[in-house]
Amino acid sequence: MEHVPIDLDAPLSDTRGTVVVDTESGRALLRVTGSGDRLKVVAHLEDGRAPKLEGVHASRSLRQAAATLAASRPLRAFLLPNAGVDSVYRPVATVMMILPFVLGGAMAAAGLFWESIGWVRFVILTGGLALLVIAADAMDKARRYRQWAALKHGERVKAAELELPPLQEEFDVDDVKEEYGKLLSDIVYRIENPALFDAQEPVSKAFTLALLQWDNNDGVATPDERRALAHRVRATFTAAKANAERLGMDHLPEVARAKARTALKAAVVAADKSAPEPERETALRRAVAILDDLALYYLPTGSDARKAITGRGAPQLPGRRNV
């Protein structure tokens, strides 16, 4: 099926029709319809759901709409000219979806009307209602009884089977490196979320090892293995970042937290370009002194702090040294 590459940052006004979007969690078919400044966007996801946005301003980017609806980071997009979206039902999955409702309904009915079994009816009733609630919740989270397909001139191709160019994994890993580098040069972030930079923290260690394996091309023999490793780099980075932000400064030894909080406050002032210069310099000296005193390997050194705040010095990536 014909597909035309489209910029993820293009406004929705330029993407009317059907667009296939690859995200970190899978592939989605987006249908953009409407006229004027307000559009409707429906995302047909791999799990069968079809969340939608209505009244979306035409200037909003495809990236924003796709990320919101798919709850995942978009990687690339292709316009499918003159194509629509159709559903393909899966018989076995449909039966498996209906079965809990039938069983739960039967149990609830038995509990209500089968008086001869005494108090057991209330157990059956409770079980039936619980099964109905669980089934409804599962159906709300996924509609796996159907798959979505692109439809054009009678040709129906499932989203997962659309033949698209291979993903450029290098771009995705470069994005991770760029984002990590920005965080590494953000002294305030480093003090506030130190676990991301601690290679002994299990979640952060997984990211560091994945990135080193990527750079060394270690054990990667085929394009599929390289693609899988690229996804692992992104996934482990996302997990490490979320874990670090969850832990915050609680990752630090308890005896170091008070000093680290003082260093954080000083670093915030030192990095504030709107603050008076003498105040910034005083705060910077204080932050430098505290960081050097703490001397924790995953916190920035005083020299790191001065270089980052004054704009000198290149950030390191995991497993590397500045030269």
Closest CA to 147 of 101, 99, 77, 93: 93
Q: Measured between alpha carbons, how far apart are the two ends of the chain, in Å? A: 50
Closest CA to 236 of 176, 305, 317, 304: 176
The set of residues, in sequence order, having a beta carbon less than 8 Å from that of 13 and lying 6+ positions away, is: 39, 58, 59
Distance CA 159, CA 28 (A): 7
What residues does each domain of the chain span? 4-86, 89-141, 169-310
Distance CA 193, CA 191 (A): 6
Per-residue confidence in pLDDT tens, the chain, 323 aa: 788 999 999 999 998 899 999 887 788 999 999 988 999 999 998 888 889 999 999 999 999 999 999 988 888 899 999 898 888 776 776 677 778 888 888 888 888 888 788 888 888 888 888 888 887 776 665 556 678 888 888 888 888 888 888 666 666 788 899 999 999 989 999 999 999 999 999 999 999 999 999 888 766 656 667 778 888 899 999 999 999 999 999 999 999 999 999 999 999 999 998 989 999 999 999 999 999 999 999 999 988 888 888 876 444 555 443 33
The DSSP element (H or E) to which 99 belongs, if any, is helix 91-113
**Residue 71, both tokens:** 């709850």
Residue type, 81: P
**Residue 250, both tokens:** 């609680």
